Structure 1
Amino acid sequence: MFTLITLYSTIIPISLYVSIEMIKFIQCAKFINNDMNMYHDESNTPALARTSNLNEELGQVEYIFSDKTGTLTRNLMEFFKCSIGGEMYGTGITEIEKGGAERAGGKRSATAVHEKGFNFDDARIMRGAWRNEPNHEACMEFFRCLAICHTVLPEGEETQEKITYQAASPDEAALVAAAKNFGFFFYR
């Protein structure tokens, strides 16, 4: 029976395979990309199907397994603090601490930079001051590794203000954003 099925498998025309792929592509382009239930308000991002197999795989999800990184919550990562050569840097604050400080009338530091994925404040290494640190070689190597050891894809203009990063995980995007703010700009 197996031999019979193998021999008859060549009878299926190639045009049928092409037609099925075209139908899958149209389904993804029309239904998934234009689905308002898949629109993300915070980032102003619609769904973007990058494969034609997505519509087949969506119906197969039965269980969702999650770890403690926020897979079922907002799944946001921010660069708060780091340790370089055994020295701790950073005084970033969490969303809860930020809200509490605003209610209490507190002001943010003038040296702090706040952007998506980067909530870091430490005058010792911000704005190129890391060059004056005793472990400046370790700082340079640390920032260089943040800028190049990842799978992030840059999109948009190759300027620090207009570039956006597409990453498989928010962890990687936060690390690349941190490297950019320390002067190690990944753009290509």
Structure 2
Amino acid sequence: MNTILRKSILGVAGLAFTGGVFAGPVAAHAAETTTHVKPVSVTVQGDTLIPHGVQGAQSRIDLNDEQTKNVKAIIAATKKAGMDERAAVVSIATALQESKLENLGHLGDRNDHDSQGLFQQRPSSGWGTVEQITDPEYSTTAFLKGLKQVDGWQDMPLTKAAQTVQVSAYPDHYAQWEQQAADLVAQHWNK
């Protein structure tokens, strides 16, 4: 076999193996965090929606009517706050991670302290009353207010911007929702 061809084949095989080793645990972990995983769409969003490209393996869930209504509420609150589509992508990805876009009340023993609503905000941390943080417009506005206070959030990867506002125990988990969030903003922003 030609030496150059042989080295090329071995190089490609090595890259495939290395990619599998490094991507394997990430992909396995992403599957554990969602109940409904579908293949990632290959939609390419413009620089405004995904300026850094997606970070890591992507998750996706099917949305019911309530979740779609919450997407629209997040987009409406983002527009009302005078913020752009990228802010809506960060907000929706955050809500996908925190609540799967469900406006969660108190979950009893499964509750993380007193976290509630789309963004799992806590009254005890100053996000507002239970009534406020379970109102999609209020909770989105509160999240966006925090996002505005992050210097350079527009130039950060989504997961870093979201984490700076949310201060989650799992800071990298927001990244897995970036593609679906961008797809949802592209679908609903101009409606």
| TM-score where L is the length of structure 2 | 0.25
Which structure is larger by alpha-carbon Rg, 1 or 2? 1
Give the TM-score normalised by structure 1: 0.25
Structure of higher RCO (CA pairs closer than 8 Å, 6+ residues apart)? 2
Larger strand percent: 1
Higher helix share: 2
